[in-house]
Every structure is written in C-alpha cells, then in structure tokens.
C-alpha cells in the first residue's frame, strides 16, 4: 500500500521518507522488469546449466544461481522501500519557496547556473539533475526563497549559491 501525502514541508523532521510519483513509478518499473523479464531469463539459463550434469564444477550453474540470488535480493529491497516511502502526489506550492519536488536554479560565485530538482533519497540522479532532499545541497536549499544566498558545506570546501529561480513545473 502506498502512503500518499499532499505536500512535504521543508521544516518537517525526517520522520517519513518522501518520493515523487515519478520516482515511485521508476521503482515499480524496475521491480516489474526484474520479476517479469530478467528473473525468468536467468531461471531458464539456470535450468539449462543444471541439465548439463555435475553442478559442483559447473561455473555457468553457479553464476546463474548467484544471479538469481542478486535479483531476489534487489526485489526484496525494492519491495521494502516501496512500503516505507510516502509518495508525494501533489505539486509543491508556487510561493517562491523551495519545497520537495521543486525545480531550483542556482548561480555560483562565478556566475555559472545549474538547475536541480529536489527529490527523495531513493530517486536522486545526477544525470537528470535531481538531488536528494537529504544531501548537503538539498538541505541547504529547502525552505529558502528566490534571491536567497545559501552556503553548501562540501568535503572539498564550502560553496555559496544564490537562488535565481524556483519552479514547480519542469
């Protein structure tokens, strides 16, 4: 059962773990692919390898057994995570503040801009410029407003960013 919540607040303590509807859908798609496509393929290959005879020295059989175990482990993890997260189904408020699910454009001290979306810990993806609300940058941005300056503590040194745009739409 998916718990849904209209909106996550930036000042909320980390009692629940949030995920966007898109992020939840990606977890469901991965679980569906593993269960309906990948696992049956590997099980069929395992059966073929088992039919070849002595299993104790059959590298293909041992490899496929390990592969099935890894798939099953990932399926258990996905199931546990999908039960644990709270899916945020509504768009954040469009009041100029940074909330969970918002798109935020920041400018660094050298004038370079970068756009991010604040998402849950289970769905961040640097290739899609999605950052976790639990990351140092996510924590620094949540609750701030347009034109606010934020300091992000990083292992390689602090960076100062200015929020130049906040949007609820992509």
Confidence category of residue 169, pLDDT binned at 50, 70, 90: confident
Q: What is the CATH number of domain 103-167?
A: 3.10.50.30
pLDDT, tens digit, 9 for 90 and up, residues 25-64: 999 999 999 999 999 999 999 999 988 877 777 899 999 9
CB 119 within 8 A of CB 133: yes
Domain 3-88 of CATH type 1.20.120.1200? no
CB 140 within 8 A of CB 133: no
Cα of first residue to Cα of last residue in the chain, in angstroms, is 28
CATH 3.10.50.30 residue spans of the chain: 103-167
DSSP string of 78-128, one letter each residue = HHHHHHHEEEE-SPPP-SSB--TT-EEEEE-TTS-EEEEEEE-TTT-BGGG
pLDDT, tens digit, 9 for 90 and up, residues 63-79: 999 999 999 999 999 99
């Amino acid at each position: 059962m998916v718990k849904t919540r209209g909106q996550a607040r930036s000042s909320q303590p980390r009692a629940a773990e949030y995920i966007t509807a898109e992020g939840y859908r990606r977890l469901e798609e991965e679980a569906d692919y593993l269960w309906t496509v990948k696992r049956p393929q590997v099980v069929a290959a395992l059966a073929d390898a088992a039919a070849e005879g002595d299993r104790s020295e059959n590298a293909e059989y041992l490899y496929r057994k390990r592969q099935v175990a890894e798939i099953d482990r990932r399926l258990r993890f996905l199931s546990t995570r999908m039960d644990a997260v709270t899916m945020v189904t509504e768009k954040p408020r469009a009041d100029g503040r940074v909330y969970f699910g918002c798109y935020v454009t920041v400018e660094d001290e050298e004038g370079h801009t970068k756009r991010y979306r604040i998402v849950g810990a289970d769905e961040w993806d640097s290739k899609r410029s999605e950052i976790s609300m639990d990351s140092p940058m996510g924590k620094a941005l949540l609750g701030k407003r347009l034109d606010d300056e934020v300091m992000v503590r990083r292992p390689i040194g602090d960076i100062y960013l200015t929020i130049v745009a906040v949007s609820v739409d992509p």
